[in-house]
Amino acid sequence: MDLPFGGGCACGAIRYECSGAPVYMGNCHCRDCQQATGSAFFPAVAVREREFRLLGGEPAWFERPADRGHPMRRAFCPECGSPVFLKNGASEGVRVLYAGSLDDPGLYRPSRDIFVGSAQAWCPMDPDLPKDKGMPGR
């Protein structure tokens, strides 16, 4: 992956850049992520907070507790409504990007599917990816 890489919202009001490679990429099938994306899963790209930089715009935030009670803060563009990134209260020091917000979404390479108990039958999962009922290692 070429560094830095960047992304933003659909209208261009919010722009970000990452100076380091992602630490994780995976598909989350929990109901919260389904509702936040309006789709079957959230294609997540986790980067180190210290390697993330907001270049322009100020996102609006929506917060609600995740399944284990920690805060899940989702950032979206107040102009076009595009989801851009989130802060998971259980993962300090990490910023999680929506793969669709990347300038080159083709960089996305998921390593696993999580929360597969909530996965939608109408959206088949890659059989080659490991599957977890919840968060890996918990």
Residue 63: how many other CB atoms lie within 10 Å: 11
Tell me the domain boundaries of the chain: 5-118
User: What are the CA-CA distances from residue 33 to residues 11, 78, 108 (Å)?
Assistant: 22, 19, 17
CATH class, 5-118 region: mainly beta
Q: What CA–CA distance (Å, rounded) separates 123 from 39?
A: 9
Q: With a cut of 60, say whether residue 138 has pLDDT above it.
A: no
For 53-109, how does the pLDDT look when each residue is reduced to its tens digit (9 = 90+)?
A: 999 999 999 999 877 788 899 999 999 999 999 998 888 899 999 999 999 999 999
37, containing H or E segment: helix 31-37
**Comparing C-alpha atoms, which of 42, 74, 78 is closest to residue 58?**
78
**Comparing C-alpha atoms, which of 136, 14, 5, 29 is closest to residue 85?**
14
pLDDT attached to residue 128: 96
For 11-30, how does the pLDDT look when each residue is reduced to its tens digit (9 = 90+)?
A: 999 999 999 999 999 999 99
Q: Does 2 or 118 have the greater pLDDT score? A: 118
pLDDT attached to residue 121: 94
Beta partners for 75? 61, 85
Handedness of CA 74, 76, 42, 47 (dihedral sign): negative
For 29-62, how does the pLDDT look when each residue is reduced to its tens digit (9 = 90+)?
A: 999 899 999 999 999 999 999 999 999 999 999 9
- CA angle (24 as vertex; 79, 127 as ends), nearest 5: 105
Measured in degrees and rounded to the nearest 5, phi and psi for residue 101 equal -85, -10
